Structure 1
Amino acid sequence: MLEGLIRWVSPISLPEPAQSGETVSVIVVDPEIGLIDRAEMGRTAAGIDHILGGAAVPLLNAPGGDIVYGKAQEDGWRWKKDDCVFGGRCVIVGSDATNTPAEPVANVRVLRRDVRFGPPGKTVWLGYDKHPMRMTARPSACP
């Protein structure tokens, strides 16, 4: 009687977990220095901590499986995308079926277009090209 209720299935093949020493390309957003760019990190949770410079906390599960990691409490410069505001340096990491860090689906060019930076203590939001660090890095048009 019980035999009619049991159905045997083949196990799903999962990707192999990351090996020590493997790296992955991620996106770093650092509002203090006006940075939105790709970086390489170790393909582990410790790699996320290292690139952030402290203990990483998942802040947002973004569309496409990306996860935004930052520090638990960050004062100072902040950044926002759409209606989400983040304090301090963050890293955007994709995730695979084994929850191992993977390349994000987010696009650097789109983030540079859509992200706004907020200086400490101010309510103004600046675009990527208007960040003070980016403005001082530009060559002068006058001799």
Structure 2
Amino acid sequence: MKVVHIDATLRIVSQIEIEPHSRELIRLCGSSGRPKTAITLPSGDVLLCAEGSSTAPGFTIGGSPTFRSNAVLLGKRDRWRQYTAPRFGTERIEALLRWVEANPSEVEPREGVQAILIDPAQRTIEAVKIEQSLKAVEDIIGEKIVLAFLAPGGDRVYAAASAQGPKWRKDDAHFIGRCVIVGSSEGGLVDVAASLETLKKDVRFAAERSKRWVRHGVSDASSPGRAPS
């Protein structure tokens, strides 16, 4: 089911596909406790938020109070008490949303974090250290970015908003162009949880002028695979 995810720390509103069970909603809202309904919109959509920290960045929607956590927008429940897809999309939410800064007097200075850069054009997978900011991710990608994937363990995969060019994949997740993988928490970007060596084993690059996938460090001719989709 497609829902709207609001990342208050990185100031991103995106549409993602999930199964809206409790564990997934807790992960998306960035809390160890069960998210609660913060507001119900005129459309009937409900916004789920975590408790949040008084020092964390947040947002408001319309004339709402400030919510200082990530959030998920879901549709009203059906006759079986299951959530449905929201009626409002990302554009409508972005028009209503206002970002709220963290309290600078209580936030610790930002430091660099470990991330992983995957470049299918060069077929490289390398560790990089970046500033703890979304702009640092954009600087590496080279243009405006979007959240491409929420990985287990809290990692996020960011790609160019208008990504073109060579493809790569890990398991069933497919990506286009350079991507940065970095960890995240309620306080912002953190060190990536994914293993560099594991990614080098598991990632596949789309081979040029053929319908095969190749492993990191292996030439096109020596690595058969499925055709890119």
Distance across 2 between alignment mates of 1:116 and 1:90: 14
Name the SS for the 1:25 alignment partner.
strand
Change (3 A) 1:87 1:131: farther
Distance across 2 between alignment mates of 1:18 and 1:56: 26
Change (3 A) 1:18 1:57: farther
Map 1:13-52 to 2 at 5 A: 17=107, 19=109, 22-52=111-141
Structure with the greater alpha carbon radius of gyration: 1
Specify the alignment match of 1:76 in structure 2: 165
Task: Note the C-alpha offset of 1:95.
Answer: 0.4
Name the SS for the 2:122 alignment partner.
coil
2:175 alignment partner, one of 73, 78, 86: 86
Specify the alignment match of 1:67 in structure 2: 156
Distance across 1 between alignment mates of 2:158 and 2:53: 29
Name the SS for the 1:129 alignment partner.
coil
Map 1:118-133 to 2 at 5 A: 118-119=206-207, 122-131=210-219
Tell me if the contact between 1:76 and 1:120 (Cα under 8 Å) persists in the aligned partners: no
Distance across 2 between alignment mates of 1:123 and 1:54: 28
Matching residue's letter, 2:169: K
Q: Which structure has more RCO (C-alpha within 8 Å, separation ≥ 6)?
A: 1
Specify the alignment match of 1:103 in structure 2: 191
Change (3 A) 1:124 1:102: same
Task: Note the C-alpha offset of 1:23.
Answer: 1.3
Matching residue's letter, 1:114: D
Q: Which has the higher helix share?
A: 1
Distance across 2 between alignment mates of 1:70 and 1:110: 20
**Long gaps (5+) in structure 1:** 1-10, 133-143
Tell me if the contact between 1:56 and 1:70 (Cα under 8 Å) persists in the aligned partners: yes
1:56-104 Cα distance to aligned partner (Å, 9 max, x none): 1100000000000001232221110000110000000100222x11111
Tell me if the contact between 1:94 and 1:103 (Cα under 8 Å) persists in the aligned partners: yes
Matching residue's letter, 2:170: K
Tell me if the contact between 1:58 and 1:68 (Cα under 8 Å) persists in the aligned partners: yes
Matching residue's letter, 1:46: K
Question: How high is the TM-score relative to the length of structure 2?
Answer: 0.48
Task: Note the C-alpha offset of 1:121.
Answer: 5.6
**Long gaps (5+) in structure 2:** 1-51, 57-105, 221-229
Change (3 A) 1:111 1:23: same
Name the SS for the 2:217 alignment partner.
helix
Q: Percent identity?
A: 33
Tell me if the contact between 1:75 and 1:120 (Cα under 8 Å) persists in the aligned partners: no
Task: Note the C-alpha offset of 1:40.
Answer: 1.0
